[in-house]
Amino acid sequence: MKRTLSLVAGCFLATSAWSEAQQPVSETTSDILAMVGDREITFPQLNTQLNSTAVVGLSTPALGTPERRTVMLTLLDKAISVNLLYLDAVKKGRQTDPQFKQEMQDYANGTLAGLYRKHYLKTANSVSEKEIADYIEKHFAKGTALDENMRPVVEAKIRKVKYIKHKAGFREHIRAGMHVKIHTEHLQIEDDNLRSDDQMIVEFDHTRMTWGESSTLNNSINLERRLETLNQLIDNKLLAKKGHQIGLDRERSYLSALEEFNHTRLVNLHRIELIRGMEPTEQEIRDYYKKHRKQIAFNEHRKLQMVVLKDEKTAQTILERMKKGELTIYQAAIDHSIDPRAKQTLGDFGWVEEGTGFPALDELAFALEMGELGGPVETPAGWHIVLVTDQRTSRYTDIKDDETQSQTRRLFLKEQFSEYVVGLRKKDYPVVVYQDNLNRIMQQEAQWIAAKSKEMEANPERARMILDEMRALVE
């Protein structure tokens, strides 16, 4: 089993993205790739992101390849920008936004509720010897002995029954000993536009829930669906409370999930508010389009098949034979074209953009219909016979067009937002990049993969075990 692997050779860092200070690090910080203010960006964080999720615009390259390092650099640059936005959001007090605080509370309750639900239902997996004995007595003939083959089957049946019973009685379990009063008179859909946010809709466990705290009820199509959703909200609050009581809110998985949501949601909220403040006027959109028209406008493109001849007479003769069906354009390109690449390309010239070629050839190519032969026309390269095989229509060529305005606005905001983040990077928050750490880690990874590949070649019988070791790196 052979596998060609390349070691990472050399370092390449884009000047614009890597202008920050470079500092040596101790062994205790050997996984840190960058510091943004007081926030660490580590190799395991980026490696997990690369291996476990789809990254928009990026492929997932093989372990140990230079391409993997390139993608890691891109992820590091994105992570630096995200952390800059997070610090800026905190500085501007976005975490005090009522919407954000409510979303954080809802997420915390939902996560704790899920953990407690698993904890509760997990008890259905435990099977005692007494339960086994009772099951055998009830379902088997008297005197039946439990052997090794029967035990797993019996245990599985007991677990299934217990799980169904646990699940069916779940709501009764979490609401035991309390009175839940739902004010259905305050939940009528026809009164939604008249109801105030502080209108009380439910009372339970010394808690009152108002209409403003239950925005998801707005999506209900009828009262029955609304009551179902409200009961789920009540259950989640009670489950979260029970999760808190038994200490599930101190578990690492919960704290990590909460921190990740806090970071991601705060950055997204901050981004929305920033972009809202950058909204361009109509004049700014027109000015931006005028300045960047070449980058925004997409002129018509055509894919061409061509035969290039040495003189007009030869070109006319070949064209007539092609129109009569005596020659295909492929045969003409192979046997008669003076283009030195014709035998390899079969006359395929590829895509051309309107207005970028020789004027006479450009005029002909963009005047032809799809599948129509044209020519011959002269350029410094010779006399051309042209066939249009595909077409991409022009876009964003007129600022009066709604689509062009929308695209221009999008690019304007993208540029403004990028400049804002660059400003944070240069002026507001210290960014330190430990590129030596990344170089070392990626080289070690490449060397490890190369060594494992050689081991597979030398020990084919161990190949599956070695592949499992490699796979463990990306799981």
Q: What pLDDT shows up at residue 85? A: 97
Nearby residues of 407 by Cβ (< 8 Å), 6 or more positions away: 296, 395, 396
Q: For residue 98, tell me if it sits in a domain.
A: no
pTM: 0.71
- Between 305 and 457, the higher pLDDT residue: 305
Report the mean per-residue pLDDT for the chain.
Answer: 85
Tell me the average pLDDT across 213-234: 84
| Judgement on whether residues 367 and 314 belong to the same structural domain of the protein | yes
| Judgement on whether residues 237 and 145 belong to the same structural domain of the protein | yes
Alpha-carbon distance 218 to 234, whole Å? 16
Q: For residue 255, tell me if it sits in a domain.
A: no
Least Cα distance to 176 among 251, 120, 249, 111 occurs for 120
| Judgement on whether residues 181 and 235 belong to the same structural domain of the protein | yes
| Judgement on whether residues 116 and 164 belong to the same structural domain of the protein | yes
| Judgement on whether residues 133 and 227 belong to the same structural domain of the protein | yes
CB-based contact 223:188 (threshold 8 Å): yes
pLDDT tens for 334-378 read 999 999 999 899 999 999 999 888 999 999 999 999 999 998 999
| Judgement on whether residues 120 and 182 belong to the same structural domain of the protein | yes
Order of strands, sheet of 39-42, starting from the edge strand that comes earlier in the sequence: 21-22, 431-433, 32-36, 39-42
Alpha-carbon distance 223 to 230, whole Å? 10
Tell me the average pLDDT across 299-323: 94
Q: For residue 464, tell me if it sits in a domain.
A: yes
- What's the domain count of the chain? 4
- Give the pairing type, strands 301-309 and 382-392: antiparallel
Cα separations (Å) of 95 from 41, 98, 150, 212, 263? 22, 8, 57, 19, 10
Q: Is it the case that residue 19 has pLDDT exceeding 70?
A: no
- Biggest alpha carbon–alpha carbon distance for the chain: 106
User: Helix %, strand %, coil % for the chain, to 5?
Assistant: 60, 15, 30
| Judgement on whether residues 286 and 227 belong to the same structural domain of the protein | no
Nearby residues of 86 by Cβ (< 8 Å), 6 or more positions away: 39, 263, 266, 267, 270
Q: For residue 272, tell me if it sits in a domain.
A: no
Q: For residue 267, tell me if it sits in a domain.
A: no
Transcribe 207-253 into DSSP letters.
Answer: EEEEGGG-GGGGG-SSHHHHHHHHHHHHHHHHHHHHHHHTTGGGSHH
Angle CA 456–467–5, to nearest 5:
65
pLDDT tens for 31-80 read 899 999 999 999 988 888 877 655 555 567 777 778 888 888 999 999 99
Backbone angles phi, psi at 348, to 5 degrees: -70, 115
Q: Which long-range contacts (CB under 8 A, 24 or more apart) does 352-360 make?
A: 352/301, 352/302, 352/303, 352/304, 353/299, 353/300, 353/301, 354/299, 354/300, 354/301, 354/302, 354/394, 355/299
Q: For residue 353, tell me if it sits in a domain.
A: yes
Q: What pLDDT shows up at residue 329? A: 92
CB-based contact 166:124 (threshold 8 Å): yes
Alpha-carbon distance 69 to 77, whole Å? 12
Least Cα distance to 139 among 153, 124, 125 occurs for 153
Q: For residue 264, tell me if it sits in a domain.
A: no
- For the chain, percent of residues with pLDDT exceeding 90: 51
Q: Is it the case that residue 22 has pLDDT exceeding 70?
A: no
pLDDT tens for 104-163 read 988 999 999 999 988 887 776 778 888 888 888 888 888 788 788 888 888 888 878 877
Q: Is it the case that residue 11 has pLDDT exceeding 50?
A: no
Domain of residue 452, residue span: 21-91+434-472
| Judgement on whether residues 111 and 240 belong to the same structural domain of the protein | yes
| Judgement on whether residues 79 and 130 belong to the same structural domain of the protein | no
| Judgement on whether residues 180 and 229 belong to the same structural domain of the protein | yes
Q: For residue 412, tell me if it sits in a domain.
A: yes
Alpha-carbon distance 458 to 453, whole Å? 9
| Judgement on whether residues 449 and 422 belong to the same structural domain of the protein | no
| Judgement on whether residues 132 and 230 belong to the same structural domain of the protein | yes
